[in-house]
Amino acid sequence: MQEAQRQNFKDYKSLNDFFTRQLSPLARPIEDSIITSPADGRVLYLGPVPNGRVEAVKGISYSIERFLGEVPIPREGYSLQQITIYLSPSDCHRFHSPTNWNIRKRVHFPGDLLSVAPPLTHVIEGLFNYNERVALSGTWINGFFSFIAIGAFNVGSICFYFDSELSTNCKKDSKLRERKFKHFSDPLLVPKGEEIGLFKFGSCIVLIFEMPQSFKFLVAPGDKVRIGQSLVK
């Protein structure tokens, strides 16, 4: 509560209002790195995206086309990389832009609301493919960049402040499972560190991005990360 903008419990109208509480502007300084953590949470997996397969945790993978809705092809000398961050119920439920980038497309995948707690990702292969999720994709200084917000148990509501047309957690849509595409005629310029949305409880965020092969991650699986913390160098 000491990090929250509203530090008095009486200022919150409901339990959900408390879970989605906003942090104080000074609580999470944005570090000087081209990619910073979009959320508070724990790193589940990081590394390359080989042969069109995205990993949830070590050894559990799924098709990037089914998960993201497209298959980005990296340029020569570059590779596709990913990092998966799990938000527990105790973490801040708001998320921020991890870099300076242009958002060109949004794909909404209606689906289930299975728990994404790390133990379950070992049990249900391709779990992230079944869950409701919203994938943003576009470009940044190194080419392709995407931000995927994944719903979880009791977390169908995913909100992006710049997209009033997005409506998640709809039972009818979940049964039909039809992808919903939105192309932004004018790409949205999103600066690093800007708050861009929230979950209504805990969940996962996956970043998939094109990167020169000489880069290095500054974190490892199992590490706790905070909004604005440097992830690569």
Catalytic sites, residue numbers: 40, 96, 203
DSSP SS3 for 24: coil
Task: For 161-206, give the DSSP string.
Answer: TT-TT-----HHHHHH---EEEEEEEEEEE-TT-EEEEESS--EEE
Dihedral of CA atoms 210, 229, 219, 126 in degrees, nearest 10, equals -60
**DSSP conformation letters of 59-114:** TEEEEHHHHHSS---PPTTEEEEEEEEEPPTTS--EEE-SSSEEEEEEEEE--B--
Q: Can you tell me the distance from the alpha carbon of 91 to that of 26, in angstroms, rounded to the nearest whole number?
A: 17
**Tokens 């000087």 label which residue?**
32
What SS3 state is found at 29? coil
Contact predicate 95/195, CB 8 Å? yes
Give the HSE-up count for residue 42: Cα atoms under 13 Å, Cβ half-sphere.
Answer: 12
